[in-house]
Structure 1
Amino acid sequence: MDPAGLIGIVLAFGAIFGALVIEGADPMSIFLPAPLLLVWVGTIGVGIAGHTVKDVLSSFAAVPRALRSKAPDPSATVDTVVDLADRARREGLLALEDAAKDIDDQFLRNGLQAAIDGTDPEDLRIILEDRIATKRTQDRVHSKYFQDMGGYAPTIGIIGTVISLVHVLENLADPASLGHSIAAAFVATLWGILSANVVWLPLSTRIKRISDLECQQMEVTLEGLLAVQAGANPRLVGERLRSLLPEKAPAKVAA
């Protein structure tokens, strides 16, 4: 599990409520039912209006996976593919059929099985590229949904503030309550901006980033499978696939 998403959101909320405490405000003062209802439910409502029900359900279903998922390690995939290439070169492609059953990566396992079954290399490339494109498109739908929510939330918050200020103007005859009423009116704007920048937009970015990493691993797998199918030299396969990976930061030399 990569904890960056959860850590970031918890730190952001901690900083916000910590600032309230430092300023001497009661953190519970922003938990007003009306602004919370308007901003959170209203934002989700307009988000639903701009997407299909399937998009909405799949987007929320993608959140736990995005927050809990471990960043894929393409270097481990490279090692697996090199081992497969070595065995295929020594024993033939059909000898990998048993090995395919023990592979956890479904994309690699299915692609390898297709290669073993004699799928034409060009057809295999097209099939695997289509699977990568389909995944990337679906993940972009999920990311776009939360990005849209991040755009709607501040405006919904402003609407809530305007509604509250209208109520304040209706009660100008009671000056003693004006300060509290005006402060409460701006709570909706606070929640609109907070939800957009601490929840919706980070979720959108997180989903997109995890998708990019997974698709990068799938692309490395694709090139590796085609090399295995072609009977390429395992050493060259390893060099080719590692060239597709981002370079790691050099280790610091101790003084």
Structure 2
Amino acid sequence: MDKASGLGISVIILAIIFAINMSGAEPGIFINIPSIFIVVGGTFGAVMLSYRISHFFKALSNIKLAFSSKQPNLFETLDILIELSETARKKGVLALEDVALEDEMLQKGVNLLLDGHDTDTIEFAFNREILQARQKNNQSIKVLNSFTELAPAMGMIGTLIGLVAMLVSMDDPKSIGPSMSVALLTTLYGALLANGFTGPFANKLGERADEIKQHMMLVRDGILHISRGDNPKLIMEMLASYLGENINSPVSEAQKEQNIA
């Protein structure tokens, strides 16, 4: 599990528990089953209504990326790409047949090279993969953002239900308290669900989606350079921007010195 996600959830829960204890009220009064049904059930129903059922559940299953601690190592990926380019340049592309890679995207790229596809076909295949992954992650973010938008609205609906129930039974003082608690707690639950969980999850999933896209683009460009038979030193220079590093090869340094001379 991602440490930041686990720590963030723990901090939210501990902060709420601490605030309740400091208020001096009984913790049990902050648990209201009708309010939970209104906010959680109503929000799930409204979001489900907004999307096709298959898209809804696929998006929910993809939320696990927000908890994943696995992060693409761009430096390691670049090293592997340089090794592959050196092997292909010295021994030919078919020498990559014995290479087994754990990275699924890298392995797909090597397979495309081994199958003898031209550069345009390889680029098209990678662009399609990147687009499909991006669409899948964006769909999950949209669903989470829908939860964030609708949860406070459901909390407001619960508040109105509680206020109506309170006004109807004004002649019975004993029923005012429970009705008012429903009114206030639904607002609390809606705000907590949206701002404490689904909103941050959407942000985390967006960050994960950007990491995945950057990794896939790095692999795509590296495989395309290998397909063209480019020099490994040139490949390192061209792909260094993905790492945020200024990597200069000996070749480029020599060229600079010649230009200065």
Partner of 1:34: 34
> For residue 62 of structure 2, what is the aligned residue in structure 1?
62
* Alignment map for 1:113-128 (pairs within 5 Å): 113-128=111-126
Letter in 2 for 1:175: P
- Partner of residue 130, structure 2: 132
Give, in whole Å, the separation in 2 of the partners of 1:151 and 1:40: 13
**Residue type of the alignment partner of 1:25:** A
Task: Report how many aligned residue pairs link the two structures.
Answer: 246
The one of 209, 227, 243 aligned to 1:211? 209
Task: Decide whether aligned partners of structure 1 residues 202 and 247 sit closer, same or farther in structure 2, where only a CA change above 3 A counts.
Answer: farther
The C-alpha deviation readout for 1:15-67, integer Å capped at 9, x for no partner, is 12211111212333221110001100110000000001111111121122331
Cα-to-partner distance string for 1:227-249 (whole Å, 9 max, x where unaligned) = 1122222222122212222359x
Q: Quote the Cα distance in structure 2 between the aligned partners of 1:214 and 1:246.
A: 16
What's the TM-score once normalised by structure 1's chain length? 0.91
Letter in 2 for 1:192: G
Give the alignment of 1:169-248 within 5 angstroms. Answer: 169-175=167-173, 177-179=175-177, 181-247=179-245
Structure 2 unaligned spans of 5+:
247-261
Shift of 1:68: 2.2
- Counterparts in 2 of 1:50-129, with a 5 A limit? 50-99=50-99, 102-129=100-127
- Cross-structure match for 1:146: 144
Distance 1:36 1:247, change over 3 A: farther
TM-score (norm 2): 0.89
Q: Deviation above 6 Å: which 4+ runs of structure 1?
A: none
Rounded to whole Å, the distance in 2 between the matches of 1:62 and 1:22 is: 38
Counterpart secondary structure, 1:70? coil
Work out whether residues 35 and 160 of structure 1, in 8 Å CA contact, stay in contact via their aligned partners in 2. yes
Identity %: 31
Q: Aligned to 2:58, what secondary structure does the other structure show?
A: helix
Amino acid at match of 2:19: A
151, 157, 160: which one pairs with 2:158? 160
- The corresponding residue for 2:250 is none
Structure scoring higher RCO (CA < 8 A, sep ≥ 6) equals 1
Larger displacement relative to structure 2 (172-181 or 4-13): 172-181
RMSD, matched Cα: 1.7
The 8 Å contact of residues 158 and 189 in structure 1, kept in 2 or not, is answered as yes
In structure 1, C-alpha distance between the alignment counterparts of 2:218 and 2:56, rounded to whole Å: 31
- Give the aligned partner of residue 252 of structure 1: none
Shift of 1:69: 3.9
Question: Could you tell me how far apart the structure 1 residues matched to 2:93 and 2:245 are?
Answer: 31
Query: How far is the alpha carbon of 1:176 from its aligned partner?
Result: 5.0
Q: Is the 8 A contact 1:2 1:71 kept in 2?
A: no
Aligned-residue offset at 1:222: 0.5
Matched-pair contact (CA < 8 Å) for 1:13–1:198: no
Deviations 1:205-233 (A, max 9, x none): 12221111011000001111011122222
The answer as to whether partners of 2:162 and 2:181 remain within 8 angstroms in 1 is no
Q: After superposition, what is the alpha-carbon deviation per residue over 1:87-126, rounded to whole angstroms, capped at 9, x for unaligned?
A: 1111111100110xx1111111111111121101011111
2:22 matched residue in structure 1 = 22
Residue ranges of structure 1 left out of the alignment (5+ in a row): 249-255
Instruction: Give per-residue Cα distances to partners, 1:138-161, cap 9 Å, x unaligned.
Output: 110111001011100001001001
Partner Cα separation in structure 2 for residue 68 and residue 26 of structure 1: 36
Check conservation: 1:75, 1:242, Cα contact below 8 A: no
Q: One-letter code of the match for 2:191?
A: I
From the CA coordinates, give the structure whose radius of gyration is larger.
2
- In structure 1, the partner of 2:256 is none
Residue 12 (structure 1) aligned with residue 12 (structure 2)? yes
Q: Matched residues in 2 for 1:177 and 1:215: separation?
A: 55
Secondary structure of 1:235 counterpart: helix
Residue 12 of structure 1: how far off its partner (Å)? 1.6
